[in-house]
Amino acid sequence: MNIQELVSEAESLPVEERARVVDVLLRSLNSPEADIDKQWVDVARSRLDDIRAGKVATVSGEQVFANLRARLER
């Protein structure tokens, strides 16, 4: 099977299975590192704790994109 045949076959899969193929391929290029993953989990938990404690304010996704569009229009 050549690359084009493989791609065609993958494209014919249901979306959930295509997503799984993509995930497996990406992980093969950039294998997860347990230490780095743990650090990201720690950061995410810390940020969530800050939000729940009212230490930081959240911004809606719509506002984030509006701010980005405004910056790009300048």
Boundaries of domain holding 5: 1-31
pLDDT digits (tens, 9 = 90+) for 59-68: 999 999 999 9
Number of domains within the chain: 2
Q: What is the pLDDT of residues 37-72, one digit of tens each?
A: 899 999 999 999 999 999 999 999 999 999 999 999
Identity at 47, one-letter amino acid code: R
Task: Looking at the structure, tell me whether residues 50 and 66 fall in a common domain.
Answer: yes
Which tokens belong to 18? 């295509």
**Same domain, yes or no, for 69 and 57?**
yes
Report d(CA 30, CA 14) in Å as an integer: 24
Nearest in space to 23 (alpha carbons), one of 33, 32, 36, 35: 32
Residue 22, H or E segment: helix 15-29
Both 1 and 26 in one domain: the answer is: yes
Indicate the DSSP class of residue 53: T
